């Protein structure tokens, strides 16, 4: 069964400006946002609601400093799985979604099948997470851990300026 991809609306200039402004500051009021992008409040609010309902805007969150909240170790984990059957892939995906230490996960090409970004307090906690969680995931054949030494550029907003090209 083929994977169905969502259908997103075509974005115009106002939509792109709204998205860029909200990526910079998700706490903007509708009035502030409307003023910044050059629309009146009502059409601006309608556009934001449409972007939310269509899934372009997935939600709003505060960006936290991991070390400040006690999560000082980031590990990028390459996972190779035994087989590439739909049932096993879905079991693995559901298991990964249930692990709060995994803050992002990707199906990738190359040496690994999946790339996970894991945050934990320290090496001892990663060792526990590895042995008690990762190695017990369904279908796992091999795990390669890469430890982040220093964050050079934290995850930021999407490069919306490229859309106008």
Q: Per the structure block, which two tokens stand in for 89? A: 């892939």
Query: In angstroms, what is the C-alpha Rg of the chain?
Result: 20
- Residue bearing the bigger pLDDT, 6 or 50: 50
pLDDT per residue as tens digits for the range 24-82: 999 999 999 999 999 999 999 999 999 999 999 999 999 899 999 999 999 999 999 98
pLDDT in tens, 133-144: 999 998 899 999
- Asked if 79 contacts 134 with a C-beta cutoff of 8 angstroms, the reply is yes
> Residue 120: its pLDDT value, please?
98
Phi/psi region, residue 89 (left: phi>0; alpha: psi -120 to 50; beta: rest), is: alpha
Query: Does position 165 have pLDDT exceeding 60, yes or no?
Result: no
């Amino acid at each position: 069964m083929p994977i169905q991809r969502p259908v997103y609306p075509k974005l115009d200039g106002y939509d792109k400006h709204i998205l860029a402004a909200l990526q910079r500051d998700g706490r903007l009021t509708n009035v502030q946002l409307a003023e910044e992008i050059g629309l009146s409040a009502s059409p601006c609010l309608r556009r934001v609601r449409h972007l939310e309902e269509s899934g372009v805007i997935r939600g709003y969150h505060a960006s936290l400093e991991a070390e400040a909240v006690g999560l000082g170790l980031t590990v990028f984990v390459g996972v190779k799985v035994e087989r590439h059957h739909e049932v096993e892939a879905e079991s693995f995906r559901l298991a990964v979604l249930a692990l709060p230490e995994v803050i992002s996960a990707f199906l990738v090409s190359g040496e690994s099948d999946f790339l996970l970004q894991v945050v934990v307090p320290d090496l001892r906690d990663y060792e526990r997470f590895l042995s008690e969680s990762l190695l017990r995931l369904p279908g796992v054949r091999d795990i390669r851990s890469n430890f982040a030494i220093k964050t050079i550029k934290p995850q930021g907003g999407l490069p919306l300026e490229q859309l106008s090209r």
